[in-house]
Amino acid sequence: MKMNAPEMVKILGIRVETPTVKTLILDKKIQAKPGQFAMLWIPNVDEKPFSFSKLNGNLEITVKEVGPFTQKLFSLGKGDLVGIRGPYGNGYFRIKGEKICVIAGGVGLAPLMPLIDEILKRKIELTLIHGASTKKELLWMDRLKSGKIDLILATDDGTCGEKGSVCDIFENLVKRKRFDQIYTCGPESMMKRVADISLKEKIPCQLSLERYMKCGLGICGQCCIDPLGLRVCKDGPVFTAKELRGTEFGKYKRNASGSRCNL
């Protein structure tokens, strides 16, 4: 497909992952790097950015229902068509080191899965801290309990794993175990704390950001990060903790009109 023009592709299947999360299996194979994204288009509705949750074989995109666009996406079924353009993003996850910690909050695990798949192909020691609000919202438990991952689970209500935040677990873990690299995706307040802990402990950290996007090409400036002007769509969506230090990250973002809004 032409990179900047949507290609209409068929939905081959839909998996219900949790009460609020579904995975779309698309009739499309794509050459992309872990952490990159595509713009997904529903004709006469809207277009939104989504990361890939699986790159090998048919493309998979995992979505949480949060607003009108995802509600419409959830109403689609096998055989329906969606438009897709991409992949986009010059900032993607780069695998470094032999002892790695991945920290995922909720559906933030989705864009980390292609990274995890790549890590598991190598002789790397992997620790995954995955948290959600409750047990039913934890993703891919059968897939992750493979024996090759040191899996640590957390839930806000204590229904599975440790009760509380993945950040508390991470903060305690780095006091007794050293990592070469940290990778994280999830709610921004969670990632900000992970970044702060990583900077304090002098551990390199890579984070996948989400901002409101219109073009996905770095033209409109909608997703720029104050005050550096970093474009999440073009320079990211993956950044290092050092790049984000002193920016709006963890403080605010902008809505469709460009006005500041709370995270």
Q: Where in the chain is the domain with CATH 2.40.30.10?
A: 7-88
In this prediction, residue 2 carries a pLDDT of: 54
In this prediction, residue 112 carries a pLDDT of: 98
Condensed to tens digits (0 to 9), the pLDDT of residues 62-81 reads 999 999 999 999 999 999 99
Q: Where in the chain is the domain with CATH 3.40.50.80?
A: 99-261
Instruction: Please compute the mean of the pLDDT values over residues 220-233 and round it to a whole number.
Output: 93
CATH topology classification for 7-88: Elongation Factor Tu (Ef-tu); domain 3 (2.40.30)
Give CA–CA dist 67/231, Å, rounded: 24
Residues 261, 112, 97, 244, Cα dihedral to 10°: -10
| Structure tokens given for 221 | 């400036």
In this prediction, residue 176 carries a pLDDT of: 93
Q: Which of 203, 154, 206 is nearest to 174 (CA)?
A: 203
| Structure tokens given for 239 | 């950044």
Q: Is the pLDDT of residue 7 over 50?
A: yes
| pTM of the complete model beyond 0.75 | yes
In this prediction, residue 103 carries a pLDDT of: 98
| Structure tokens given for 1 | 């497909």
Condensed to tens digits (0 to 9), the pLDDT of residues 154-166 reads 999 999 999 999 9
In this prediction, residue 1 carries a pLDDT of: 44
CATH of the domain spanning 99-261: 3.40.50.80
Give CA–CA dist 2/218, Å, rounded: 17
Confidence of residue 108 (pLDDT cuts 50, 70, 90): very high
